A and B are shown apart, each in its own frame.
Chain A
């Protein structure tokens, strides 16, 4: 910025880029490894009988450690959904649809993108992914151990 642009009461704009390395930990790590193998793994609690996606280390009902793992089905029901019109740096180009889905046999919902949806008319598209809609899991061609390794597509 040239000196003549700095005026009393003006502003200086700065864009800060930060890099973070996050430790996945045991639970999220096992989930991400499962994705690489084409599996969606949920934790389970033998005390409460509840299963968790995203996987949790502790049961929110019994307050005991989750002591098991189960493989989730590749079909489920949308609990909540939206079509995001604004784009974000580093994310998919808009519009994108996301949904929180309770996969069959699992007691909590996990969020992800909804693919293969015609988004040319948002009102129509919104109804196609309304809560209660059945969806399937679709794995992408490459699996790198991230939540975006899979997405949902409408079952019908």
Chain B
């Protein structure tokens, strides 16, 4: 959801950070007994505005905005920091971008961007060093919605068949600063990941069969894989993630929908075999300041 206001005459909450944050809030309401059935919807029409300008205006006006810092600049600072922290280089980043585009090309729900050549990615112009234009996922328009129902609702309405169960959601927000320590420590990402996995009773990434990461750039994927301890490449973003479709602010909830489809066996050409548990990840703010991680299980997976 996108607007900072509530609904009139209806039980509606609007969330500004990201669609995945809205899912976390809706999930908390179900757990608290405040809600039995809800719709979590998110949309973004990036084609209708200048995303960079939106980000530049989000910065406070005294110390950040005068420098023209937008999401591209913040992502470049992040790329530099994680490259040094995790020994990530451009070659690895370019490979991750190409692999993501290739997976995305099979996603029936994706935009089906043309898969670029390695040379095109590697020699694309810098936007802000060390980040090159083709290392960034293209923005798209898009929308996604999930229906969330409580166990009580499902017991009372046996004709309603859920596709998946949420077994854990974690979210965290990091410091506002863009200094080296904040950028490379990835504290909020790690905290959200750990919280979600603990709730789900999952020990590590090795117990997840699919992990949809919100990687706005190839540098992001390289960093998240290391921060989350993901060692099986075949589990990384089967949908192609942001390189399939990237309606900023709702890309994370798109990831959640892709994870649900994976555990339901309904992901189509990007379906992974025997997916019992899948995680979805979302990030928002300057240089992934905020993160949400969601773990889904197939119905019957824990029975």
Which A residues have a C-beta under 8 Å from some C-beta of B? Answer: 20, 22, 24, 28, 32, 54, 60, 79-86, 88, 91-92, 96, 98, 100, 102, 108-113, 122-123, 125-126, 131, 146-148
Contact = CB atoms under 8 A, between A and B. Distances in A.
A80 B178 contact: yes
A91 B68 CA distance: 7
Interface stretch (B34-42, B59-67, B185-193, B212-220): B59-67
A131 B128 CA distance: 15
A147 B129 contact: no
22 contacts: A20-B61, A28-B62, A32-B62, A54-B63, A60-B175, A80-B81, A81-B80, A82-B77, A82-B128, A83-B126, A83-B129, A84-B68, A85-B128, A86-B52, A91-B66, A92-B68, A102-B179, A109-B177, A113-B67, A122-B129, A131-B84, A131-B180
A111 B66 CA distance: 10
B56 interface: yes
Contact of A98 (B67, B127, B177): B67
Interface string B282-296: 000000000000000
Contact of A122 (B68, B73, B77, B126): B126
Interface of B: 52, 56, 61-64, 66-70, 72-73, 76-77, 80-81, 84, 125-131, 175, 177-181, 183
Contact of B63 (A60, A92, A110, A122): A110
Contacts of B178: 80, 100, 109, 111
A82 B179 contact: no
B64 A111 contact: yes
A45 to B, nearest CB: 16
A40 B127 CA distance: 31
Given A80-B178, A82-B80, A108-B179, 14 more contacts: A81-B77, A82-B129, A83-B128, A84-B72, A86-B128, A88-B52, A88-B70, A91-B68, A100-B179, A100-B180, A112-B67, A126-B130, A131-B81, A147-B62
A9 B131 CA distance: 36
A59 B64 CA distance: 20
Q: Which 8 A-B pairs have the closest CB atoms?
A: A79-B180, A109-B179, A82-B76, A91-B68, A88-B68, A126-B129, A54-B63, A83-B129
A144 to B, nearest CB: 11
B289 to A, nearest CB: 14
Nearest to A55: B63
Contacts of B175: 60
A80 B61 contact: no
Contacts of B130: 82, 126
A10 B218 CA distance: 35
Given A24-B62, A79-B181, A111 B129 contact: no
A80 B183 contact: yes
Nearest to A53: B63
Contact of A147 (B67, B77, B128, B131): B67
Question: Most chain-B CB neighbours within 10 Å: which of A92, A100, A109, A146?
Answer: A100
Nearest to A129: B129
A122 B180 CA distance: 21
B63 to A, nearest CB: 4
A60 B181 CA distance: 15
